[in-house]
Amino acid sequence: MQPRHYRRKVGRTYSYKVEFPRKKTGRGGKKPYGFLQKSRGILNFVKYRYAITFIPGFTDVVRRALQRDIPDGELIEEEDGLFVIDTKAVPSRLRMVSYVNNIYFCLQLSLFSPEVSLEKRVKQISHDLPLDTVSGLWPFRDAQSFRMMVLQGSRLVHIPKSLAKRIQEHVINETGWEYSPLRADSEIWILARESGLTMATLKIEEAHVPVPTVAGELKPKLAELLILASRPLPDDRFLDPFAGYGSLAKARIRIGDYAEIRAYDKDADLVRSLRKQLGSAPRVITGQLDALRMRQLPDGSVSRIVTDPHWGVFTGQDLNYRKFYEDMLHEFARVLSRDGIAVILAGNPDEMEYAILRSRVFVIESSFTTLVSGKKATVFTLTKAGRF
């Protein structure tokens, strides 16, 4: 028994409905096969569509990571900070991806001209939402209530009450869910991008709850993306000489499979905190060390350096960036192996680029701008010149 696929067009909007054959129950009634009740063979005929948002700038990093974690994923749409993919993976698998911001199950997707009004886009994209498609999928199969959000770019916005009410009534009729605007089991999100791309989706709650951070500490998702930018390997000898609160070392531990992790800082109080947080992890070394004079480390002793050097913003320091970066890169060149990679989050990209050129050791493999706590920063991925 195979599922039947229907393609339905609404304006320029295409949606896909998957209907499973029904089986008779013992009392002569009929009961639909749920997505997760069927055999794996049946599920292999079904592809789901997801919208995945992530920190802008990390497009290549996230693409490479998703190719590893969701190998059957087919890229449908791409914007900075957004991928839309088709895959056989069910929502419970997607929610384990920890380095993205949000994951949404796509109900409908449409491409509009950017000049089309938000109201018209929402009205068309929300027409006859195929909510029966997800009725058997975890976590939506156990939902009893819902609320609705409209995101225009990165801003939550309101739509006319009459339009919102029509969408709510349609959802109630299709699912039996109760509308609960303050707290609900499921969330319907309409995502309207500046490019004209508009989607009606169900938000998938992530399995990894972000860890609270203090001022100046890297957020866990950003830390993990920086680690992924270094293309981590199981035999990595990893170094963060500006470890601070340990965000990068903790992210490297979460990713797993490493030979050794070294997390150092010049501040004695931060080192004590590092030892408390990382002391139980295997093959992790912490200590007090000046990143500009790492005499304890032999030449070529590390294969990956991922670090967030001082910006002088949160510490109140007035740095001579040019000299600071030059001294830092001189030490990095000494301790990094010939085929090693360094990923540096820099608050002053012009001075950093000047220091790289002056080093005559490193070449810029890639660089891009991102936002850290609302401030612009540049991610540099460096390799050694003539390393092969």
Write down the pLDDT at residue 319. Answer: 73
Does 96 share its domain with 127?
yes
Residue 310 belongs to domain spanning: 220-384
Final residue of a structural domain among 170, 204, 238: 204
Final residue of a structural domain among 145, 170, 204: 204
| Bridge partners, residue 375, by sequence | 372
Q: Does 321 map to a domain?
A: yes
Does 242 share its domain with 128?
no
Write down the pLDDT at residue 127. Answer: 86
Does 64 share its domain with 183?
yes
Residues 6+ positions from 148 with CB-CB distance below 8 Å: 164, 167, 168, 171, 181, 187, 188, 189, 190
Does 147 share its domain with 261?
no
**pLDDT exceeds 60 at position 13:** no
Pick 360 or 7 by higher pLDDT.
Answer: 360
CATH of the domain at 300: 3.40.50.150
Does 316 share its domain with 231?
yes
- Residue 123 vs residues 158, 238, 387: alpha-carbon distances, Å: 13, 51, 56
pTM summary value: 0.85
Q: What is the pLDDT of residues 93-121, one digit of tens each?
A: 888 899 999 999 999 999 999 999 999 99
Q: Does 170 map to a domain?
A: yes
Q: Which of 136, 119, 99 is nearest to 18 (CA)?
A: 136
Q: What is the pLDDT of residues 292-316, one digit of tens each?
A: 999 999 999 999 999 999 875 444 4
Confidence of residue 29 (pLDDT cuts 50, 70, 90): very low
Q: Does 23 map to a domain?
A: yes
Amino acid symbol at 3: P
**pLDDT exceeds 60 at position 167:** yes
Final residue of a structural domain among 204, 237, 253: 204
Write down the pLDDT at residue 208. Answer: 66
Asked whether the beta carbons of 66 and 85 are under 8 A apart, the reply is: yes
Q: Does 211 map to a domain?
A: no
- Residue 247 vs residues 195, 211, 221, 223, 367: alpha-carbon distances, Å: 34, 10, 10, 6, 21
Does 165 share its domain with 310?
no
Q: Does 214 map to a domain?
A: no
Q: Does 215 map to a domain?
A: no
Number of domains in the chain: 2
Does 25 share its domain with 84?
yes
Does 193 share its domain with 59?
yes
Does 193 share its domain with 225?
no
Tokens 């009961």 correspond to 31
Tokens of 75: 């890229």
Q: Does 83 map to a domain?
A: yes
Tokens 């930018």 correspond to 229
Q: What is the pLDDT of residues 331-354, one digit of tens each?
A: 999 999 999 999 999 999 999 999
Asked whether the beta carbons of 97 and 87 are under 8 A apart, the reply is: no
SS3 sequence, the chain? CCCEEEEEEECCEEEEEEECCEEECCCCCEEECCCCCCCHHHHCCCCEEEEEECCCCCHHHHHHHHHHHCCCCEEEEEECCEEEEEECCCHHHHCCCCCCCEEEEEEEEEECCCCCCHHHHHHHHCCCCCHHHHCCCCCHHHCCEEEEEEEECCEECCCCHHHHHHHHHHHHHHHCCEECCCCCCEEEEEEECCCCEEEEEEEECCCCCCCCCCCCCCCHHHHHHHHHHCCCCCCCEEEECCCCCCHHHHHHHHHCCCCEEEEEECCHHHHHHHHHHHCCCCCEEEEECCCCCCCCCCCCCEEEEEECCCCCCCCCCCCCHHHHHHHHHHHHHHHEEEEEEEEEEECCHHHHHHHHHHHCCEEEEEEEEEEECCEEEEEEEEEECCCC
Write down the pLDDT at residue 243. Answer: 95
Q: Is the dihedral of CA 356, 360, 361, 366 positive or negative?
A: positive
Q: Does 316 map to a domain?
A: yes
Does 177 share its domain with 225?
no
Confidence of residue 217 (pLDDT cuts 50, 70, 90): confident
Does 175 share its domain with 246?
no
Does 19 share its domain with 78?
yes
CATH of the domain at 37: 3.30.2130.30
**pLDDT exceeds 90 at position 9:** no
**pLDDT exceeds 90 at position 370:** yes
